Amino acid sequence: MTSPRANAIAAINAYRSTGPGWNFRETPTSELFGSNVFSDAVMRARLPKNIAKALQATIKQGKPIDPSIADAVALAMKDWAIEKGATHYAHVFYPLTGLTAEKHDSFLTPTGDGTAVAEFSGKELIQGEPDASSFPSGGLRATFEARGYTAWDPTSPAYILDNPNGTTLCIPTAYCAWTGEALDKKTPLLRSMQAVDKQARRVLALFGHKDVGPVTAAAGPEQEYFLIDRNFYFARPDLVMTGRTLFGAKPPKGQEFEDQYFGAIPERVLACMLETERELFKLGVPVKTRHNEVAPSQYEIAPMYENANIATDHQQSIMQMLTRVAQKYGMTCLLHEKPFQGINGSGKHVNWSLGCRLGNLLEPGETPHDNMQFLVFCAAVLRGVHLHADLLRAVVASSGNDHRLGANEAPPAIISVFLGEQLTNIFKQFEKGEVTSSKRMGTLSVGVDTLPPLPKHAGDRNRTSPFAFTGNKFEFRAVGSSQSIAGPLVALNTIMAESLDYVATELDKATGGDSGKLPAAVEKLLQRIASEHKGVIFNGNGYSQEWHAEAAARGLPNFKATPEALDQLVAPKNLALFATYGVLSEREMRSRYEIYMERYCKDLNTEASAAVQIAKTMILPAAYRYQGELVDIATKLKTLGQSPHLGTLDKLTRLVGELESRIDGLEKSLGHSGGGDVRREVAHFHDDVIPAMVSLRETADIAETILPDDLWPLPTYHEMLFIK
């Protein structure tokens, strides 16, 4: 009798790649890129000039959409899609599940004479109507209040999603209730981009820039993920149900050799990456980087910068495509923040900046101490992060991310800013009242004549910082790998809108409209911000225990777990912040608080229930079998007049008793509740259920090290991580 583990390993050994690969020599990536996108070029080619111009004004300049053009756009979009084999169209939206949702409709409409025609109207393009009671709403919609609307987002291009049996025209949309309240992640993102655009233009106008066009938030997320063989995946009920391993002893080798990071990519994995990139290229997703990450079987894919709204849509496509393509190569993509205990988890570093026709507003230039415009925007970021560190922690809070934040693999739960030596020195000069210089870039020689000299940046990087300046952008490193980047971007844009509002208002008051007074007013403002908000700047080791004590002395918040972090969403100052800038009403904020709290409970309930089931039906029976084998051997030895050594049996017997007790303890903890109060429910899961899960795991992981290999029922860490 073979075990599921043995069958899995045999299947991996027998794996062969499916079908021929893509020939990039015949179809270069430059031709492939955007080929399935209803792009600017396609619009110009297929739409009447006046229609194309009106649509571009909305897309490029943020002008209100003219509903009268919808029929013409819909007709062109339909004809283009059908030429590419599309049979259906879908409004794609992003509900508060964190996943991508789609409602598909056929282009075909029966004519009544036994035939059908392909139709797609402006009305169908602009509006869809999915059931609003079937998605999380946090009380915004009751079960019997079903009406919800999807609204075409013309700023994010439609695209074709290929399938071997046909293609679908996908239309990015916002999603709202019949009452107009946001039920999705896109709507508040678009609102936040509008808010930061308005306030940034006020600041730029003070510097004499009147016609800069929209100021756009840009983002570039770095997606980390694991790939393991699907045979192992299906032999692990915990991975199937929760996305992470609830049991698993530490393997003899983990990541301590540091041989995975940037190492040679295994052939099957590389083939999967190449096809993923090919499909993403067709969708216009500008993926740029791929490499091995730190942990075994962990990888990263990263696109270039884009408009924050498009980047968010593309990020959802990246996660979908990674999952979809991995299956074709006999693997499963794990996006959970901590699939394997004891090795690095996965994050999603979100690089963020602001830009307009003038360029990147966070570009310091060669002499940043002289670049007052840059320093104003940089100071606004410092102020915003310092005042709203609690909010930035809240928008990355989840049960999965709790496994990462604060560990020696991810930034701490304390939100601070790494500025680097150059900028930190400049702000210290401002604090002292006299700014005279910037540390200059140098040249690095490595002592080999044949190697070129390397430009040396004026400051180092810091991987322990949750919010780091990295040359011309800020990198928000605390975002979880499974999360949509919309929430973090909404928070960043909104706090920046508030901070730029403050800056513009203060400079307006100080100058009274006299541009000649601006330099002195800017210098005074920067001095004030440098003095009042220097506490948020930290360039040291964020992993150290000393930093925790220092951060507390500086008054920086440290919300170590999701429950207390999520509480910050409904703090009066944060409710007022989002309401003031028209991003989220108090009712919308409280609904999100309820949804995220409920999700925390549901995630942990699923994990705990799965742990009980696996322990009772797989681990405990295996322990009983080994116990029986040892008893049988001891009995036979006694029959032969021998004195059996009972150390292993005694140890196993104690372990079995402990395992039974801890299973019972976890079951009992699941039998309690918070009496209908979501905050008490959350506290119960955090304070009672999680410790019971940890306790059960400790015992089960010891059992794995004692039981014979042929009796252990679950694929082990060394198998899943190192057999590829």
Give the count of alpha carbons within 13 A of 483, CB side only: 29
Helix, strand, or coil here: 228?
A: strand
SS3 content of the chain, % helix, strand, coil (to 5): 50, 15, 35
* Of 461, 196, 475, 504, the residue nearest 373 (C-alpha): 504
**Residue 487 CB contacts under 8 Å (≥ 6 apart), including other chains:** 185, 395, 396
Placement of tokens 């920086």 in the chain: 556
pLDDT along the chain (724 residues), means of 10: 72 68 68 93 94 92 90 95 94 92 87 77 91 84 83 96 90 93 96 98 95 94 96 96 97 74 85 93 93 90 95 97 94 97 94 96 90 96 98 97 82 92 90 75 63 64 87 95 97 98 97 92 94 95 91 95 96 98 97 96 97 97 95 90 88 96 96 82 95 97 95 95 89
- Rounded CA-CA distance 674/319 in Å is 34
* Per-residue model confidence (pLDDT) at position 715: 96
CB atoms within 10 A of CB 650: 11
Token pair recorded at residue 33: 């890129």
- Rounded CA-CA distance 619/315 in Å is 38
Residues 344, 328 contacting (CB under 8 angstroms): no
Q: What are the counts of helices (DSSP H) followed by strands (DSSP E) for the chain?
A: 25, 20
* Per-residue model confidence (pLDDT) at position 495: 98
Angle at 590 between CA 584 and CA 593, to 5 degrees: 105
**Residue 424 CB contacts under 8 Å (≥ 6 apart), including other chains:** 537, 539
* Per-residue model confidence (pLDDT) at position 456: 56
Q: The whole model's pTM is what? A: 0.94
- Rounded CA-CA distance 66/57 in Å is 10
Token pair recorded at residue 317: 């496509």
Going by their DSSP bridges, the two strands 86-93 and 166-177 should be labelled as parallel
CB atoms within 10 A of CB 528: 15
Strands (E), 562-671: none
Local structure of residue 435 (DSSP, 8 states):
-
- Rounded CA-CA distance 19/323 in Å is 19
CB atoms within 10 A of CB 247: 23
Beta bridge partners of 354: 217
- Rounded CA-CA distance 191/580 in Å is 12
* Per-residue model confidence (pLDDT) at position 134: 85
